[in-house]
């Protein structure tokens, strides 16, 4: 692996205006990092990455690099781009393993972080580095949020998150696992106990439904629930996944890795309209996932999914299909289990037990451009504000919100 990383690093042209940096949502200075690496300064390279993006070790594995840094590399115009993710992962992994974290002299000002997903971890690290007394409240038994419970092990090893947790604790951050904020401990309780600000980064954990007959049957499951602990499910040999986003691809690939013999994606439109990144679709195909396009589910039966065939009636300016049913084409796709992967929405544990925190029609928290909610002192970012997005996008916004929290606390 080190040989590949070195060869990739040596290919870097050290562009004066690096397009890879422009293509990265958090503007990772990859050219500077590569120079430090080749000069024998791998710890400085890692520090540069970490300071710019506290989740560089995660983003190096799960980012859609082909659309961002690697997709903008000038070498990719006539050949193969530098594998930025591989180089960043090598450096970040080395840095995380060898970084000595000393407890910071705390300022005594307490800030509560509700949720330990990408947004929560990012803000906790940034504010703790400035001396704030940080407590993370996590509803699950382990930190990570969607990183741990929504991304499969083969894409993001859980050991990475375990190492991050160790670094959080070493830096003086307190973690309260199995603590649900809302019904028992409220936002009011946090302010009562001296927290100067509260950040909400609770993600989106309520699965969207199809509102279709058969969804309560015993062989039907929701994608976000399945990904939390796939090993406890007995799906059988033949599985149908309804939906065609990145989560659907993760579910399908995970099912194959956990004993199912045949996994099929059922989608009501065509290949050009899928929400999944093209590379994720390709990986799914390589793993053996099958795709049944232009099939719209009508009902879930004990023996499988009843569907109707669709046809294209129009293709819009983005290349997306508009479809309609073809009368008389109903059929049943037989399978042992059905997994519904059509998105998620936030839970309302906090909103239903707090005053002054407004949401939109989708149940997402309303914030301004600095992450300030409609209640003073309460901030939010990540999926609970935007809906499901990439990890690096959560990091980008959370860096802005961390500064807004500091400004608020110090005013």
Cβ atoms of 356 and 188 within 8 Å: the answer is no
Asked, for residue 124, whether it belongs to a domain, the answer is yes
Q: Check whether 1 has a pLDDT greater than 80.
A: no
pLDDT reported for residue 108: 77
Task: For 91-136, write each residue's pLDDT tens digit.
Answer: 999 999 998 877 666 677 999 999 999 999 999 999 999 999 999 9
Q: Is the pTM of this model over 0.85?
A: yes
Distance CA 35, CA 231 (A): 43
Residues 214 and 299 in one domain: yes
Residues 167 and 220 in one domain: no
The token pair that represents 317 in the structure block: 């300016």
Asked, for residue 177, whether it belongs to a domain, the answer is yes
pLDDT reported for residue 2: 77
Residues 14 and 48 in one domain: yes
Share of the chain above pLDDT 70, in %: 99
Residues 336 and 220 in one domain: yes
Residues 80 and 124 in one domain: no
Distance CA 301, CA 37 (A): 57
Give the residue from 321, 343, 365 where a domain finishes: 343
Tell me how many domains the chain contains: 3
List the domain range (segments joined by +) for residue 313.
Answer: 207-343
Asked, for residue 237, whether it belongs to a domain, the answer is yes
Task: For 5-35, write each residue's pLDDT tens digit.
Answer: 999 999 999 999 999 999 999 999 999 999 9
Asked, for residue 46, whether it belongs to a domain, the answer is yes
Distance CA 67, CA 92 (A): 21
- Mean pLDDT taken over the chain: 95
Asked, for residue 103, whether it belongs to a domain, the answer is no
How sure is the predictor about 331, in pLDDT bands with cuts at 50, 70 and 90? very high
Cβ atoms of 174 and 137 within 8 Å: the answer is no
Cβ atoms of 373 and 379 within 8 Å: the answer is yes
Residues 363 and 350 in one domain: yes
Q: Check whether 329 has a pLDDT greater than 80.
A: yes
- Mean pLDDT computed over 61-75: 95
Among positive and negative, which fits the CA dihedral 61, 63, 67, 68? negative
Residues 336 and 352 in one domain: no
Share of the chain above pLDDT 90, in %: 92
Task: For 339-374, write each residue's pLDDT tens digit.
Answer: 999 999 999 899 999 999 999 999 999 999 999 999
Give the residue from 306, 327, 343 where a domain finishes: 343
Helix (H) or strand (E) run with residue 220 in it: strand 220-222
Task: For 206-254, write each residue's pLDDT tens digit.
Answer: 999 999 999 999 999 999 999 999 999 999 999 999 999 999 999 999 9
pLDDT reported for residue 102: 73
Q: What is the CATH number of the domain that holds 239?
A: 3.50.50.60
Smallest Cα–Cα separation from 205: which of 234, 231, 180?
A: 180
Asked, for residue 270, whether it belongs to a domain, the answer is yes
Distance CA 174, CA 369 (A): 28
Residues 329 and 355 in one domain: no
Cβ atoms of 263 and 284 within 8 Å: the answer is no
Give the residue from 343, 378, 398 where a domain finishes: 343
Residues 80 and 147 in one domain: no
């Amino acid at each position: 692996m080190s040989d590949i990383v070195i060869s990739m690093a040596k290919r870097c042209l050290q562009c004066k205006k690096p397009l890879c940096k422009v293509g990265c949502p958090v503007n990772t200075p990859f050219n500077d990092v590569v120079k430090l690496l080749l000069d024998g300064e791998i710890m400085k390279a890692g520090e540069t990455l970490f300071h710019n993006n506290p989740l560089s070790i995660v983003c190096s594995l799960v980012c859609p690099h082909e659309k961002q840094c690697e997709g903008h590399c000038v070498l990719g115009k006539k050949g193969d781009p530098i594998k930025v993710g591989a180089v960043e992962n090598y450096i970040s992994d080395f840095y995380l393993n060898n970084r000595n974290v000393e407890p910071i002299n705390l300022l005594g000002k307490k800030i509560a972080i509700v949720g330990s997903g990408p947004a929560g971890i990012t803000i906790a690290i940034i504010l703790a580095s400035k001396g704030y007394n940080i407590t993370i409240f996590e509803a699950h038994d382990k930190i990570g949020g969607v990183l741990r419970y929504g991304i499969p092990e083969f894409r993001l090893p859980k050991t990475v998150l375990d190492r991050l947790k160790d670094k959080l604790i070493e830096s003086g951050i307190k973690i309260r696992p199995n603590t649900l904020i809302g019904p028992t401990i409220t936002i009011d309780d946090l302010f009562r106990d001296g927290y100067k600000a509260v950040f909400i980064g609770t993600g989106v954990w309520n699965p969207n439904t199809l509102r279709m007959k058969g969804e309560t049957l015993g062989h039907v499951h929701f994608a976000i629930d399945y990904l939390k602990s796939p090993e406890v499910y007995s799906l059988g040999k033949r599985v149908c996944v309804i939906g065609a986003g990145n989560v659907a691809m993760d579910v399908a690939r995970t099912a194959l890795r956990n004993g199912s013999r045949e996994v099929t994606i059922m989608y009501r439109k065509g290949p050009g309209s899928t929400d999944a990144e093209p590379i994720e679709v390709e990986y799914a195909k390589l793993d053996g996932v099958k795709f049944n396009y232009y099939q719209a589910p009508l009902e879930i039966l004990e023996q499988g999914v009843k569907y109707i065939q669709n046809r294209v009636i129009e293709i819009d300016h983005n290349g997306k299909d508009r479809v309609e049913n073809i009368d008389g084409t109903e059929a049943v796709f037989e399978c042992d289990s059905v997994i519904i992967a059509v998105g998620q929405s936030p839970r309302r544990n906090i909103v239903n037990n707090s005053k002054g925190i407004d949401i939109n029609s989708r149940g997402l928290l309303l914030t301004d451009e600095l992450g300030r909610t409609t209640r003073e002192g309460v901030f939010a970012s990540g999926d609970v504000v935007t809906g499901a997005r990439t990890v690096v996008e959560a990091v980008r916004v959370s860096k802005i919100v961390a500064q807004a929290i500091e400004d608020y606390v110090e005013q």
